[in-house]
């Protein structure tokens, strides 16, 4: 343990923890807890003397919050109750001389939890002094923690548990952290987007999506639309979108929650809430999707034509099945094995130091994403025309009949595919991994799908699969076709009046972050680290710190 230097000490008092005497010291970065025993006092002395027998420390950057606590609220695990109960308990008389420090613990497998340490002071003034001093010190060393959040809760995403997850697990944590929140439970699709178009964003330090990838995508699109409008920039294939100043966070409450899995390593509302509270941030690549020169939307994780497009179109009709609808639709589409003809054109990455099959995973503090951010910062300020991909840029083309065409802006991890559909894809390298799966037998396609759930094998190691790391791509279906006829067929499919059959439809749809894009012709351009996401990146298992629980803590069970 490093010695506490005198000028580093901000406050030091003899306090009680678990009815035992402690000398508690607040330094500029830590709370130091020294178990002590009373020593015999020399005659005539005005001071109580202690012998220090054991020392523990809590880093202040791992403290969620501190507050004067009512005993019932800690004993009864009030945090597991709903917000109303929680507020009612707060109105009971407080035990004003006790304050509680809430701090995180990191268990293995990326899951974060927290503990509460009750500290008893002699009187209310001392307790108040401690609370204020700790808060001020945290604010000084962690100035980037958010203080005001706008929260959107989707009540129909996943298993429809968004409101419950927020009120039981997340809202109380934001309250402990002293974060002011405005909460909107969405009433319809595009409700969040419409609010973001009009509201005063300067009031908030972050926007939080409680839902799945679809809700996040809606919020991301609303925020980027708003930013572009405020900057007076039209969204064309040749314009570079402007990064919003405000970061976005996700509390997972959807069916797949792939963005959370990929950026934190686990779909867990408490871990995500703690990442938001600590203000951890990552730069996320965003793909701008256009059709025939017209802007359609932004995508942050995945674009899939063919198998994954058909799958999402089918699964939309089966929402009542919950998350299992994806397995059922996936099985059906596997059996039908539709194939689609088309031409894919793309501009490959010029950086040859990394590629989609190099096995280099995008983990916390990823060097590839860091380099991309530095390059982006250097190029900011260059004229926009210098950054536009020109028609003369090196476009490559692949024609064929495909089972699917997938573009991953990130690795797209999820419970079914722990390493992701494109394991070496990066969150912020400014590129997407383009996976072209040509027509093959069902057995071979199954071998590819099976490998995506296997951490050890290369799912792209087949002669019918081609992979490219690209910054821009286009898809044109072949032969040229009647868009209107296909759109009518797609409407019937979505309304449940028709099934997808290769004989009746020549084109698939695009699956864009779990939502359907009806138009087969697509032009996609990746924008490096366009938005900031509240997430810390995936910690490498084995490199995580092993938490030493101070023996003095109130030893609450993991929540």
Ligand X SMILES: Nc1ncnc2c1ncn2[C@@H]1O[C@H](COP(=O)(O)OP(=O)(O)OP(=O)(O)O)[C@@H](O)[C@H]1O
Question: Is 213 among the residues known to form the active site?
Answer: yes
162 vs 550 by CB, closer to ligand X: 162
CB of 420 to ligand X, least distance (A): 15
Stretches 45-53, 107-115, 156-164, 518-526: which one binds ligand X (CB under 6 A)? 156-164
Q: Is residue 283 within the footprint of ligand X (CB under 6 A)? A: no
Q: Report which of 436, 435, 437, 412 is spatially closest to residue 423, judged by C-alpha positions.
A: 412
- Of 74, 118, 215, 301, the one binding ligand X by CB under 6 A: 215
Q: Is residue 452 within the footprint of ligand X (CB under 6 A)? A: no
Binding residue count for ligand X, defined by CB under 6 A? 22
Q: Rounded to whole angstroms, how far apart are CA atoms 177 and 181?
A: 11
Site track for ligand X across 469-508, x = CB under 6 A: ----------------------------------------
Choosing from 213, 285, 310, 314, the catalytic residue is: 213
Q: Is residue 146 within the footprint of ligand X (CB under 6 A)? A: no
CB of 286 to ligand X, least distance (A): 17
Q: Is residue 415 within the footprint of ligand X (CB under 6 A)? A: no
Q: Report which of 453, 158, 442, 490 is spatially closest to residue 325, judged by C-alpha positions.
A: 158
The alpha carbon dihedral of 19, 21, 25, 31 has a sign of negative
Q: Is residue 211 within the footprint of ligand X (CB under 6 A)? A: yes
Q: Is residue 212 within the footprint of ligand X (CB under 6 A)? A: yes
- Of 146, 158, 237, 330, the one binding ligand X by CB under 6 A: 158
HEC states along 204-232? CCEEEEEECHHHHHHHHHHHHHHHHHHHC
Residue 56 pairs in a beta bridge with: 33
Q: Is residue 213 within the footprint of ligand X (CB under 6 A)? A: yes
Q: Is residue 188 within the footprint of ligand X (CB under 6 A)? A: yes
- Of 69, 218, 486, 539, the one binding ligand X by CB under 6 A: 218
Phi-psi region of 190 (alpha: psi -120 to 50; beta: other; left: phi over 0): left
242 vs 318 by CB, closer to ligand X: 318
- Angle separating helix axes 442-451 and 325-336, nearest 10 degrees: 150
- Of 514, 520, 536, 550, the one binding ligand X by CB under 6 A: 514
> Which string of DSSP letters, residue by residue, matches 156-176?
SSTTS-HHHHIIIIIHHHHHH
Q: Is residue 95 within the footprint of ligand X (CB under 6 A)? A: no
- Of 80, 107, 189, 336, the one binding ligand X by CB under 6 A: 189
Q: Rounded to whole angstroms, how far apart are CA atoms 138 and 103?
A: 12
156 vs 478 by CB, closer to ligand X: 156
89 vs 156 by CB, closer to ligand X: 156
Stretches 152-160, 232-240, 304-312, 533-541: which one binds ligand X (CB under 6 A)? 152-160
Q: Rounded to whole angstroms, how far apart are CA atoms 490 and 405?
A: 19
| Cis peptide preceding 491, ω within 30 of 0 | no
Q: Rounded to whole angstroms, how far apart are CA atoms 403 and 485?
A: 22
Stretches 172-180, 186-194, 525-533, 537-545: which one binds ligand X (CB under 6 A)? 186-194
- Of 257, 285, 472, 539, the one binding ligand X by CB under 6 A: 257
> Which string of DSSP letters, residue by residue, matches 469-508?
EEEEEEEEESS---HHHHHHHHHHHHTTS----TTT-S--
Residue 442's φ and ψ, nearest 5 degrees, are: -60, -40
158 vs 430 by CB, closer to ligand X: 158
Residues 190-209 that bind ligand X (CB under 6 A): 191
CB 233 within 8 A of CB 273: no
- Of 254, 265, 306, 309, the one binding ligand X by CB under 6 A: 254
Q: Is residue 154 within the footprint of ligand X (CB under 6 A)? A: yes
Q: Could you tell me the CA-to-CA distances from 538 to 411, 420, 456, 471 in Å, in that order?
A: 12, 13, 18, 24
Q: Is residue 330 within the footprint of ligand X (CB under 6 A)? A: no
- Of 21, 155, 178, 418, the one binding ligand X by CB under 6 A: 155
Residue 173's φ and ψ, nearest 5 degrees, are: -70, -40
Residues identified as active-site: 213
Residue ranges in contact with ligand X by CB under 6 A: 154-158, 186-189, 191, 211-215, 218, 254-257, 514-515
């Amino acid at each position: 343990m490093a010695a506490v230097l005198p000028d580093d000490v901000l406050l030091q008092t003899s306090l009680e923890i678990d009815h035992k005497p402690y000398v508690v010291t607040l330094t500029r970065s830590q709370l130091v807890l020294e178990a002590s025993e009373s020593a015999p006092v020399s005659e005539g002395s005005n001071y109580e003397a202690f012998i220090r027998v054991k020392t523990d420390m809590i880093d202040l950057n791992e403290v969620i919050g501190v507050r004067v606590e009512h005993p019932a609220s800690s004993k009864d695990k009030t945090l597991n109750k709903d917000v109303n109960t929680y507020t009612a308990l707060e109105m009971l008389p407080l035990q004003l001389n006790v304050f509680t420090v809430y701090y995180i613990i990191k268990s293995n497998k990326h899951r974060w939890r927290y503990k509460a340490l009750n500290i008893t002071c002699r009187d209310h003034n001392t307790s108040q002094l401690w609370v204020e001093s700790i808060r001020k010190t945290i604010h000084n060393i962690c100035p980037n923690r958010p203080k005001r959040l706008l929260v959107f809760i989707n009540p129909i995403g996943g298993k429809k548990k968004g409101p419950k997850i927020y009120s039981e697990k997340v809202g109380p944590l934001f309250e402990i952290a002293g974060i002011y929140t405005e909460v909107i439970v969405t009433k319809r699709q595009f409700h969040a987007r419409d609010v973001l178009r009009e509201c005063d964003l300067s009031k908030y330090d972050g926007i939080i999506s409680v839902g799945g990838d679809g809700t996040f995508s809606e919020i991301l699109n609303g925020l980027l639309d708003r930013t572009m409008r405020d900057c007076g920039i039209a969204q064309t294939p040749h314009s570079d979108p402007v990064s919003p100043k405000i970061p976005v966070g996700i509390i997972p409450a959807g069916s797949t929650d792939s963005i959370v899995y990929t950026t934190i390593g686990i779909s867990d509302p408490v871990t995500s809430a703690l990442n938001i509270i600590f203000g951890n941030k990552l730069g996320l690549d965003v793909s701008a999707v256009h059709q025939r020169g017209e802007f359609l939307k932004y995508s942050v994780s995945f674009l899939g034509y063919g198998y994954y497009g058909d799958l999402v179109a089918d699964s939309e009709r089966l929402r009542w099945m919950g998350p299992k609808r994806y397995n059922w639709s996936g099985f059906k589409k596997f059996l039908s094995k539709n194939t689609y003809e088309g031409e894919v054109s793309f501009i490959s990455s010029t950086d040859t130091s990394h590629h989609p099959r190099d096995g280099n995973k995008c983990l916390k503090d990823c060097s590839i994403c860091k380099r991309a951010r530095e390059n982006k910062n250097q190029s900011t300020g260059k004229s926009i025309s210098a950054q536009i991909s020109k028609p003369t840029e090196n476009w490559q083309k692949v024609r064929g009949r495909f089972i699917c065409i997938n573009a991953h802006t990130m690795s797209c991890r999820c419970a079914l595919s722990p390493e992701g559909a494109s394991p070496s894809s990066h969150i912020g390298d400014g590129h997407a991994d383009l996976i072209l799966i040509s027509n093959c037998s069902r057995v071979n396609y199954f071998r590819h799908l099976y490998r995506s759930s296997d951490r050890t094998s290369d799912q792209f190691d087949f002669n019918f699969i081609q992979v490219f790391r690209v910054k821009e791509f286009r898809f044109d279906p072949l032969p040229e076709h009647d868009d209107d006829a296909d759109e009518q067929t797609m409407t019937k499919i979505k309304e449940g009046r028709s099934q997808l059959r290769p004989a009746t439809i020549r084109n698939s749809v695009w699956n864009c972050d779990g939502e359907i894009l009806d138009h087969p012709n697509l032009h996609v351009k990746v924008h490096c680290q366009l938005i900031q996401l509240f997430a810390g990146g995936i910690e490498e298992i084995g490199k995580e710190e092993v938490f030493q629980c101070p023996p003095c803590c109130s030893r609450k069970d993991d929540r």
